[in-house]
């Protein structure tokens, strides 16, 4: 089926031409979910700014602009088209292509946006993106950097900031976490992949760290770090915490006990004035000391704000028991009874913001699992962030960055007035609702314009046409089938 590209949107003129039988194409053109989000990205200037800041190594003015390649990549990640060869086919909406400034008529094999054209029924060939990424990888290798490091640097320096700007937000609460992205164990061709053992099972893959910055609704992934699967969460994220531009004085960083590091917490509080709320490991002296003080003060226990049968208590001035910690902390001790032994068990959560009560510490920390839900969605069928269709690292990093950009776009649009209906929804839920509603539109093209019409509306018009005109339309559709 032909890919419909740019023509002016003049529905009244096209309808008049249809009544005369002077049309050139009729195609199914249901506006799909990617179009809504990309319209917003274009109208807000977000796509343009992403393209301007992208580390494009191509010389002079390329025939296929970066805004078109990014739009194809984002649309592909909304539509589940992840292979580089599929990106041109992700841009199917005539209205969207018009907004992107694509000025070609209905494509046939041998035509396209570049002078060389394409033998496919698409605006540009997927090799355009592949060659671009290989240039980036060559430059990174020449600089003795990870092939694709330029993509990570672009994301951390520009992408997060641009999304916060689009959302008109300066997030002050952030959640740090890591997730493993596994690949087939026996395939050692995955470039710079690592090996580890979990639950006595060997795994191959990579590790992705993200900084989740909270918006009014949802959040955006403002910074990322990348490593091999066996790398410890702490060593992967510590450099990011020291340089990340999204942590501002007065901000709060939430992390789990796997990231506990006295030096990093001290640095964040002293040098960046960023507070940390973290879980404590059971073997830590500071937790044992906090438990002892809490048990010595039995009248200070308060009910847990969300969990029946549990109690909480704030213990102050306990930081000296944490070796290497150079800032004061308070600890919220949680106690609950073991179901079998009926003995008290204890947990601890620390905060460098000394103004937080025990209830506030526990409620703050309880937002941390939100990032685990993000990972569940990102690694699920809706986004498939680990669905690598290549073993080359630069293409893997492109896929990861584009998945996170598409995810951020979903979250950011949901914070606008127009996108409020998407707030609190998942991509999977919206796709299911769209399938349930099943509204179909058609796009009709003349030699100089197009219009998009609901199927029922178009059917009524076709039934009213003279037999001579209906025959012209019938021949047009018959030729397309052949």
Statement: residue 111 has pLDDT above 70: no
Q: pLDDT band for position 54 (50/70/90)?
A: very high
Q: Using H for helix, E for strand and C for coil, what is the string for 183-198?
A: ECCCCCCCCCCEEEEE
Q: What is the pLDDT of residue 321?
A: 95
Q: pLDDT band for position 237 (50/70/90)?
A: very high
Let me know: does 126 contact 84? Beta carbons within 8 Å. yes
Strands (E), 124-193: 173-183
Q: What is the pLDDT of residue 420?
A: 76
Statement: residue 90 has pLDDT above 80: no
Let me know: does 467 contact 21? Beta carbons within 8 Å. no
Among 87, 94, 160, residue whose Cα is nearest residue 129:
87
Token pair belonging to 436: 């349930």
What spatial distance separates the first Cα and last Cα of the chain, rounded to whole Å? 11
| CA–CA distance, 217 with 199 (Å, rounded to integer) | 36
Token pair belonging to 135: 């240039």
Q: pLDDT band for position 123 (50/70/90)?
A: low
Among 259, 218, 212, residue whose Cα is nearest residue 239:
259
Element (H, E) at 132: helix 127-142
Token pair belonging to 449: 């314009």
DSSP state of 321: G
Q: pLDDT band for position 32 (50/70/90)?
A: low
Q: What is the pTM of this model?
A: 0.80
Q: What is the pLDDT of residue 309?
A: 92
């Amino acid at each position: 089926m032909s890919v419909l590209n740019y023509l002016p949107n003049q529905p009244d003129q096209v309808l008049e031409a249809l009544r005369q039988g002077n049309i050139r194409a009729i195609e199914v053109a249901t506006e799909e979910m990617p179009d809504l989000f990309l319209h917003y990205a274009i109208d807000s200037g977000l796509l343009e700014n992403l393209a301007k800041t992208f580390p494009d190594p191509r010389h002079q003015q390329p025939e296929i602009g970066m805004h078109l390649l990014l739009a194809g990549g984002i649309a592909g990640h909304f539509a589940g088209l992840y292979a580089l060869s599929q990106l041109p086919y992700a841009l199917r909406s005539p209205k969207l292509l018009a907004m992107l400034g694509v000025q070609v008529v209905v494509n046939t094999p041998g035509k396209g946006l570049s002078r060389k054209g394409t033998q496919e029924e698409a605006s540009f060939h997927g090799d355009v993106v592949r060659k671009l990424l290989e240039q980036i990888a060559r430059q990174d290798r020449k600089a003795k950097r990870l092939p694709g490091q330029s993509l990570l640097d672009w994301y951390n320096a520009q992408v997060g900031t641009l999304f916060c700007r689009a959302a008109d937000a300066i997030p002050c609460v952030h959640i740090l976490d890591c997730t493993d992205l596994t690949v087939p164990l026996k395939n050692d061709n995955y470039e710079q992949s690592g090996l580890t053992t979990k639950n006595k099972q060997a795994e191959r893959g990579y590790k992705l760290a993200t900084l989740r910055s909270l918006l009014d609704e949802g959040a955006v992934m403002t910074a990322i770090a990348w490593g091999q699967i066996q790398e410890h969460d702490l060593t992967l994220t510590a450099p990011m915490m020291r340089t990340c531009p999204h942590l501002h004085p007065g901000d709060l960083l939430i992390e789990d006990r796997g990231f506990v590091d006295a030096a990093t917490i001290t640095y964040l509080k002293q040098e960046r004035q960023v507070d940390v709320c973290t879980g404590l490991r059971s073997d830590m002296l500071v937790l044992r000391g906090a438990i002892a003080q809490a048990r010595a003060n039995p009248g200070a226990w308060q009910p847990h704000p969300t969990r029946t049968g549990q109690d909480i208590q704030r213990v102050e001035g306990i930081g000296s028991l944490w070796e290497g910690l150079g800032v004061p902390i308070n600890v919220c001790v949680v106690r609950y009874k073991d179901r079998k032994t009926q003995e008290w068990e204890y947990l601890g959560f620390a905060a460098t913001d000394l103004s937080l009560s025990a209830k506030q510490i526990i409620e703050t920390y309880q937002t941390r699992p939100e990032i685990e839900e993000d990972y569940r969605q990102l690694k699920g069928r809706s986004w498939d962030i680990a669905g690598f269709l290549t073993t080359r690292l630069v293409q893997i990093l492109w896929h990861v960055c584009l998945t996170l950009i598409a995810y951020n776009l979903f979250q950011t649009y949901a914070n606008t007035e127009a996108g409020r209906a998407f707030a609190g929804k998942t991509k999977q839920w919206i796709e299911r609702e769209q399938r349930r509603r099943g509204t179909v539109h058609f796009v009709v093209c003349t030699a100089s314009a197009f219009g998009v019409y609901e199927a029922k509306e178009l059917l009524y018009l076709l039934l009213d046409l003279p037999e001579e005109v209906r025959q012209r339309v019938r021949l047009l559709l018959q030729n397309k089938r052949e």
